[in-house]
Amino acid sequence: MTPRAYQQVDVFTRIPYLGNALGVVMDGSGLSDDEMQAFARWTNLSETTFLLPPSPSAAALGADYRVRIFTPGSELPFAGHPTLGSCHAWLQAGGAPKAADTIVQECAKGLVQLKRDGTRLAFAAPSLQRSTPDAALIARVAAGLGLRTEQIRAAQWLDNGPVWLGLLLDSMDTVLDLRPDHSALKGLARGIGVAGMDVAPAAPDLIVRSNREARAFGSSDNANATEPDDTPSIEVRFFADDIGVTEDPVTGSFNASLAQWLIADGIAPARYVAAQGTCIGRAGRVFIEQDAQGQVWVGGDSVTCIEGKVFL
């Protein structure tokens, strides 16, 4: 067994232990697929990543490093919080990007661009394909989530590498009040993301300020309270029983595809903050912005919580 540098990073938070944990093996060279999968299963984190040199073809296109992403049950072609957390760990370990203002990550989905805004990183949301799910499936999902069908405003299959089922619900409170039956949800979709906003589609530029943070973490003078620019206008939850994740603290890939969907359909503004993890004691914040060229960027803070070595 070889000692390898390892970091455990908390992603989509400035405050340690309130985001989504990610294990990062800083050098996955020489490990087989089975060895990577076994370690990811052992960490039992929603994702564990392995950093590698870029492939020659990707390096020729500017890739700085390659990442492989594993859940406890399988490998993913792309995922959001592993993208931000792996890049954070790579930079912390002294990684030097080829371009001053951009980092390029290679993953199974392809090349993903990241940019820095101070210490916060953001990735360019990969291309999205979407379609309308079958009404019978939505009825079964609604039953598994404990929803009335009229509480679902819209539904889409969202494919930006991984394929998730996305539901837009009638309010943030409806999202927070869900009590899913995980046994009923299993086998319906690889992952089911739900989002709710208290903004009417006719007024998408209105930023709603709510008391969700106080509800979950105490009053505004609590040490865990978020700063004003962290105030969310969309509440998100994500259930992925089929890949071994009952409820994900913060899901970057789903937030990326959700943003592309809602902005394209005029439901959400071109810039907003999403909250995720409230119901499981987290305070994840996802910063969404569509630039003038129409590219959606998904941003978040990361902090290193554990640094050392693993033997693999």
Q: Cβ atoms within 10 A of the Cβ of 237, count? A: 27
Structure tokens at 232: 């969310």
- In contact, 301 and 119? CB cutoff 8 Å: yes
Domain membership of residue 292 (yes or no) is no
Please report whether residue 233 resides in a domain.
Answer: yes
CATH code (residue 30): 3.10.310.10
Q: Residue 168: in which H helix or E strand, if any?
A: strand 163-169
Specify whether 30 is located in the same domain as 141: no
* One domain, residues 162 and 235: yes
Quote the domain boundaries for residue 275.
129-287
Whole-angstrom distance, CA of residue 138 vs CA of residue 155: 8
* CA proximity to 197, closest of 188, 206, 185, 189: 206
- Could you give the C-alpha distances from 231 to 73, 156, 167, 212, 301, in angstroms and in order? 34, 26, 22, 9, 15
Cα separation, 294 vs 271, whole angstroms: 12
pLDDT of residue 221: 37
Q: Could you tell me the two tokens for 161?
A: 């590498």
205 and 190 inside one domain: yes
- CA dist 264 and 261 (Å) reads 5
Q: Six-digit token pair at 66?
A: 């390659």
Residue 195 domain flag: yes
Contacts of 40 (CB under 8 A, 6+ apart): 23, 47, 48, 70, 71, 72
| Alpha-carbon distances, residue 273 vs 79, 86, 116, 214 (angstroms) | 19, 22, 17, 17
CB 239 within 8 A of CB 246: yes
- Res 19: pLDDT: 97
pLDDT at site 227: 46
Per the DSSP assignment, residues forming a β-bridge with 274 are 234, 286
Q: Which of 306, 285, 290 is nearest to 12 (CA)?
A: 285
| In a shared domain, residues 141 and 283 | yes
Both 45 and 183 in one domain: the answer is: no
Are 156 and 273 in a shared domain? yes
Is the residue at 293 inside a domain? no
Domain match, 262 and 245 both: yes
The answer as to whether 218 is a domain residue is yes
Same-domain check for residues 158 and 255: yes
Does residue 295 lie in a domain region? no
On whether both 147 and 210 belong to a single domain, the answer is: yes
What values do phi and psi take at 253, rounded to 5?
Answer: -65, -40
Q: What is the pLDDT of residue 101?
A: 84
Q: How many domains does the chain have?
A: 2
179 shares its domain with 260: yes
3-state SS class at 34 = helix
Instruction: Report the chain (312 residues): mean pLDDT per 10 consecutive residues.
Output: 97 97 98 98 95 98 98 92 98 95 95 94 96 97 96 97 96 97 96 88 36 37 47 96 89 97 97 97 97 98 98 97
- Is position 82 within any domain? yes
Domain identity same for 104 and 214: no
- 97 and 175 share one domain: no
**Comparing C-alpha atoms, which of 91, 195, 100, 180 is closest to residue 140?**
180
Residue 294 within a domain: no
Q: What is the pTM of this model?
A: 0.89
Indicate the SS3 state at residue 307.
strand
